[in-house]
Amino acid sequence: MSVDTSTLAAVGRRAGLCAVGFCRAEPFTDSAQVLHERKQAGLHGGMQFTYRNPDRSTCPARLVPGAAALIVGALEFSAAACDRPDDGSPYARVAAYARADYYTPLRAALETMAEPLRAAGHRAVVSADENGLVDRAAAHRAGIGWWGKNSNILLPGAGSLAVLGAVVTDAPLVSADPEPVADGCGSCRRCLDGCPTGAIVAPGTVDARRCLAWLVQADGVFDPDYRVALGDRIYGCDDCSEVCPPNRVRVRQRAHAPEPPGHGTRVQVLDLLELEDSELLSTYGSWYIPRRQPRYLRRNALVVLANVGEPSEPRVRAAVDRALGDPDPLIRAHAVWCARRLGLSLDALSDAADPLVRAELERPVRTSVDSPPVRWFPDRSSPVEPPA
């Protein structure tokens, strides 16, 4: 039994994919070199994922011995306007790609293309949002999009508003790669100029140490240099995508598309801070949380609260006081920064002896009145200078 690419593409599109492409499963040697170089330069900022083992993530044969072809699929997600409820409560923004679990339907769609291959006696493994494959490089090779200057893949007609995945198979589906999609960026540099922290240090190169989308996922103390720049973002950052012309066109085209069930565009910060660990994980479990520890969501929420909270509100003061008395020094440390930025009392601080807490007590802090969250662009040619 043979399976042809046109049949598989039709299967994928019926399953909801907005783009399907095919390419050979040769190693991504250029991507491996780039990953090694950027990791050596520290641009990964401690990020793991495909950086963990570049030689593995750039070699499809590590997933399927004898891999011959890749089927790359893209599932479009909604990027509706992120309006803030007008009830006076502090709200945090959720990036468009994290407002719902898009990877579950993506994997399901990829499986519909893998099943006929397995039925024909071939091996076929689905990879999406994992460490095993450089999905953007695969999408580019498969001819479904071009490399954007923000390092995302942009699909004709959809921009970068899609999640990517692939089927790795030993079926000899193609003998050559398709022609690359023509670059659609031209001289545009809106993503470079629109990044709130200057994280896009060159076209196609992101310094993860500055990227807010990574910093909210990184463990440890939230980098003080970027707390004000975080603004009201609780998870992810869409700025480089929001200013991208192809994305802006697509958002207008899909203005009335229904939102999938999920977290929505906003999270009520005080409600989040009141949730128990189990409730946090059950509610936001689809997000990447370091070592599945809810403390990092609370850390992010305290940074957001420091930026957007109204210090005269009793619930805000109560939330900060609870965090100041938290047994976790990471939470207490960020509560100290939050309280000082909002101009609130530190009387509820239960233990100031921990080094993390002491560091926050000694750190210069501008209040939210003196230093509201703004777009901040450090000089990209020099080390980052702290905004506070």
Q: What is the pLDDT along the chain (388 residues), one digit of tens a residue?
A: 568 999 999 999 999 999 999 999 999 999 999 988 888 888 876 666 666 788 899 999 999 999 999 999 999 987 766 667 778 889 999 998 888 889 999 999 999 999 999 999 999 999 998 888 999 999 999 999 999 999 999 999 889 999 999 999 999 999 999 999 999 999 999 999 999 999 999 999 999 999 999 999 999 999 999 999 999 999 999 999 999 999 887 776 655 555 555 557 889 999 999 999 999 999 888 887 877 889 999 999 999 999 999 999 999 999 999 999 999 999 999 999 999 999 999 999 998 999 999 999 999 887 765 666 644 333 333 333 333 3
Nearest Cα to 236, choosing from 275, 204, 262, 274? 262
Q: What is this structure's pTM? A: 0.88
* Residue 159 DSSP code: B
Give the mean pLDDT of the chain: 89
Convert the pLDDT of each residue in 143-201 to its tens digit: 999 999 999 999 998 899 999 999 999 999 999 999 999 999 999 999 999 999 999 99
Q: What is the dihedral of CA 349, 299, 333, 372, to 10 degrees?
A: -90
* Helix/strand/coil for 134: coil
Convert the pLDDT of each residue in 65-78 to its tens digit: 999 999 999 999 87
Distance CA 71, CA 29 (A): 19
Convert the pLDDT of each residue in 346-360 to its tens digit: 999 998 999 999 999
Burial class (CB in 10 A: 0-12, 13-18, 19+), 254: middle
Any idea which residues carry the catalytic annotation?
Answer: 129
Q: What are phi and psi of 340, to 5 degrees?
A: -70, -40
